[in-house]
């Protein structure tokens, strides 16, 4: 409960009493490593907030290979936003990378939360604004950088992340084969 309060405090001001009410709209869930929270082709019912651990989003590409497009660590939200808003089948899977503790909310419950606590509109506005800002930057990188440059950029900016996440998932996120990632790493070390 405290992690989420500390996180909310960065964006909005809520009393302890208000927070208790806000928190009651969420379901606390423990997910074990590699557990699936959402499956491609199923209605996207929920949004997930990571209190502890790490989730990832991926799709199965035409070659049958898992393509990771997003990670969410502590204090990040993850879902298929397009499918969630419309309550339609998702194009993605969401899976736990580590044993994780998460908060879950569905669309109707979120709407009730927003009605009862309009300050949460501000919170979610700021969350989506940041997420969108990050994706604008990311789209620029995808235009601008080679795969090798992307890896260097990524490992310079987020060295702890590279340490934390299994190599084959980093490779999947960057659109490499694990072998190609090993090659780049060897080249950078030499």
Output the smallest distance, CB 157 to a second copy, in A. 14
Contact between 22 and 117 under an 8 Å Cβ cutoff? The reply is yes
Output the smallest distance, CB 32 to a second copy, in A. 26
Closest CA to 96 of 185, 25, 180, 29: 29
DSSP H or E segment with residue 101 = strand 100-106
Is the Cβ of residue 139 or residue 188 nearer to a second copy in the bound state? 139
Output the smallest distance, CB 54 to a second copy, in A. 18
Q: Could you tell me the two tokens for 67?
A: 């393509």
Residue located via tokens 């190599």: 167
Output the smallest distance, CB 80 to a second copy, in A. 7
Is the Cβ of residue 33 or residue 130 nearer to a second copy in the bound state? 130
Is the Cβ of residue 66 or residue 99 nearer to a second copy in the bound state? 66
Q: How many whole angstroms separate alpha carbon 184 and alpha carbon 179?
A: 9
Residue 156 half-sphere exposure toward CB, CA atoms < 13 A = 7
Output the smallest distance, CB 47 to a second copy, in A. 10
Angle at CA of residue 44, ends 130 and 82, nearest 5° = 45
DSSP state of 43: B
Is the Cβ of residue 33 or residue 125 nearer to a second copy in the bound state? 125
Is the Cβ of residue 143 or residue 160 nearer to a second copy in the bound state? 143
Output the smallest distance, CB 132 to a second copy, in A. 4
Is the Cβ of residue 124 or residue 168 nearer to a second copy in the bound state? 124
What number of other Cβ atoms are within 10 A of residue 86's Cβ?
Answer: 12
Q: How would you label 145-164 residue by residue, b for 16+ Cβ within 10 Å and e otherwise?
A: eeebebbeebbeeeeeeeee
Applying CB under 8 A, the residues found at the interface with a second copy are: 59, 61-62, 67, 69-70, 80-82, 85, 91-92, 114, 118, 121-122, 124-125, 128-140, 142-144, 175
């Amino acid at each position: 409960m405290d992690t989420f309060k500390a996180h909310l405090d960065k964006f909005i001001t809520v009393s302890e009493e208000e927070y208790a009410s806000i928190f009651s709209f969420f379901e606390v869930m423990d997910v074990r490593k590699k557990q699936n929270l959402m499956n491609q082709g199923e209605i996207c019912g929920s949004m997930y907030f990571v209190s502890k651990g790490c989730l990832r989003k991926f799709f199965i590409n035409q070659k049958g290979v898992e393509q990771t497009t997003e990670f969410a660590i502590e204090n990040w939200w993850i879902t298929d936003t397009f499918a969630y808003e419309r309550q339609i089948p998702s194009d993605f899977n969401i899976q736990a990378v580590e044993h994780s503790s998460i908060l879950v909310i569905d669309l109707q419950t979120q709407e009730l939360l927003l009605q009862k606590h309009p300050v949460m509109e501000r919170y979610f506005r700021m969350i989506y604004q940041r997420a969108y800002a990050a994706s604008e930057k990311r789209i620029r990188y995808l235009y601008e950088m080679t795969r090798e440059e992307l890896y260097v950029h990524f490992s310079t900016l987020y060295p702890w992340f590279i340490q934390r996440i299994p190599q084959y998932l980093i490779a999947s996120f960057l659109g490499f084969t694990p072998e190609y990632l090993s090659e780049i790493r060897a080249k950078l070390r030499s």
